[in-house]
Amino acid sequence: MYHNILVPISFDPERDVTAPLKLARVLAVPDAKITLLHVVEQIPSYAISFMPEEFMSEARTALEKELAGLADTLPNAQGVVVDGHSGRTILDWAEQNKPDLIIVASHRPGMQDLLLGSTASQVVRHAACAVHVVR
Give the domain CATH number at 62: 3.40.50.620
CA distance 18 to 22: 6
Query: Is residue 108 very low, low, confident or very high in pLDDT (cuts 50, 70, 90)?
Result: low
Percent of the chain at pLDDT exceeding 90: 70
Residues ≥6 apart with Cβ < 8 Å to 109: 118, 121
Q: For 41-85, how does the pLDDT look when each residue is reduced to its tens digit (9 = 90+)?
A: 988 888 888 888 898 899 999 999 999 999 999 999 999 999 999
Global pTM value: 0.91
Structurally, the chain folds into a number of domains equal to 1
DSSP state of 111: H
Q: Using only C-alpha atoms, what is the Rg of the chain?
A: 15
Its domain, for residue 56, covers 2-134
Average pLDDT taken over every residue of the chain:
91
pLDDT exceeds 80 at position 112: no
Most distant pair of Cα atoms in the chain: their distance: 48
